[in-house]
Amino acid sequence: MTVPHSSFWSSDRIKEEQSSRELISPFVGGFVKQSAYELALGSEVFITSEHTKRRLAPNEQISIPPGQFALLLTHEQLDIPNDVIGFISVRYTIKRKGLINVSGFHVDPGYCGRLKFAVYNAGSQNIVLSRGQRVFMIWFTNLTEPTSDPYQNKSTEQNEITAEDVMSLQGDVASPAALKDRIDSLQTEYDRRLSTMDDRVRQGLGALEDKIATRSKVATGLLVAFVVEFLILIIVLVVGFFFQRPTTIVVPEPKKDTPGIQQNSNTSQANNNRNSPG
């Protein structure tokens, strides 16, 4: 058994398949380019910064801020056969501005309905789109045989952005731009506090230097007074040493014996001799 070869469709093949079975509705042959079909932005969008979905009037514009997600509904409805798979992307002219497709890159065999593109603005500026603008692209390739488990959900949920879709993307998104602003704000606050702290440190050092200078002056004054008093004491001692009068010690001369005294002495000696026995 020969297995059919799987390959991507050319532009002519897309037009041929469209003429035999309705793949895309509405279909405009002029939007088949480089083996892909260009899909347009439809009537419903949801941007995380707006909290609820919007319905767009013809040619109405939307703006996706940096760092925000969005759900974009296509204008066209698709009816993918069971033996075909589609591959999707954002057009390069829009992708290069920073709009990234984060919802997946293929369309299942058997899928029927509009496509919901979940996108993220990774750029630094708002991305502006308008209803009816050619934003997306789809390529087709055939399978070797029809799949036995095609996509089964044929509900109308595929043709609108539902409340569940909105709730799945709700919440604050920390965009790079918002984070940059926050970092800049913190840097400014840090610089302010650092400057205030530096001023306080300088004031404290100035006060400390004043106290040290005052105490140094007091210590210097005390030292000078001590040195002066010490010098005065030295001077007084030196002057007293050189100019003090010496003390004269008078030694009395021995007295000479007089004749009367000598005679009395001799008489006393004679009397003593008489009185002595034998």
Give me the pLDDT at residue 111, please: 94
pLDDT surpasses 90 at 259:
no
Among 125, 151, 173, residue at a domain's last position = 173
Do 169 and 200 belong together in one domain?
A: no
Mean pLDDT calculated for residue range 6-13 = 92
Domain carrying residue 135:
11-173
Do 143 and 181 belong together in one domain?
A: no
Are 44 and 161 spatial neighbours (Cβ–Cβ below 8 Å)? yes
**Domain-embedded: residue 266:** no
CA distances from 99 to 31, 40, 41 (A): 21, 15, 14
* Model confidence band, residue 1 (pLDDT cutoffs 50, 70, 90): very low
Do 227 and 163 belong together in one domain?
A: no
Total structural domains in the chain?
A: 2
Do 124 and 214 belong together in one domain?
A: no
**Domain-embedded: residue 199:** yes
**Domain-embedded: residue 206:** yes
pLDDT for 144-183, tens place per residue? 999 999 998 766 667 899 998 998 887 666 666 666 777 8
pLDDT surpasses 60 at 96:
yes
Burial 21-55 (b: 16+ CB within 10 A, else e): eebbeeeeeeebeeebbbbbbbbbbbbbebeebee
